[in-house]
Amino acid sequence: MDGVYSGLRAENQKLCALVVIGVNERGEKRFLAIEDGIRESIQSWREVLLDLKRRGLAVPPKLAVGDGALGLWAALEEVYPKTRHQRCWAHKTANVLNYLPKGAQPKAKKALQEIWMAQDWASAEKAFDHFVETYQAKYPKAVACLRRDREALLTFYDFPAEHWLHIRTTNPIESTFATIRHRTDRAKGCVSRNTMLAMLYKLGMSAEKRWRRIRGFHHVAKVIEGAKFKDGVEVEVNHETDDSRNAA
């Protein structure tokens, strides 16, 4: 889930489209929403999510991936309170690096990569703590930015390892609509609100035809059915133990 901003403005606010991509039980990615929005407010996202529910998405999604837009997460808590949150690592990395001088950014970026590329949750926690210890004294704002979403940044470890590539970031949305900002910034007088939405829709439908199923798509059905995963590996449930506990 992400907001795609344009160079257009209305009442001194940048216009944006609120975009949602979903994955079905066959691992196929599909656009669920490309909606007009003034900004990423709670009300704007609430309207998008309620419309998804009205159109048939009654069962809460297992996971939502998005950036730090507060309106998105607040609306999600209202409409789909059982859906887990995963913060986009691409957005978070950019936000953290913005608090660092350019000379320190390459090393810090590598340290951030060691967190989300760790093979398991415990290793990610250690890398996270190492980043905090390394940069807390000189760059407290960068550390505060990272620590703010600690739990939501590591949610992906509770899902199949094959899916991690897809659920750590909202880049599929960013890459699909990368040309929108360029076109609207260059032709502000020629591109209207309706034209922007039409461009988004056409670009989206064209991109959707080229999308491949996500890696490990056979695990999606298991996730939907409630299978548990730890560090990317399915956790085997001991039914005999469960039955003995129930009997007791």
pLDDT tens for each residue of 183-201: 555 555 556 677 778 878 8
pLDDT digits (tens, 9 = 90+) for 125-183: 999 999 999 999 999 999 999 999 999 999 999 999 999 999 999 888 888 877 665 55
pTM metric for this prediction: 0.86
Query: Which residue has tokens 């290793």?
Result: 123
- Which domains does the chain carry? 1-88+170-215 (3.30.420.10), 89-168+227-248 (no CATH)
Closest CA to 115 of 140, 85, 149, 138: 149
Q: Identify any residues that bridge with 16 across adjacent strands, giving them in sequence order.
A: 5, 37
**Is pLDDT at 83 greater than 70 in this prediction?**
yes
Tokens of 61: 């999604």
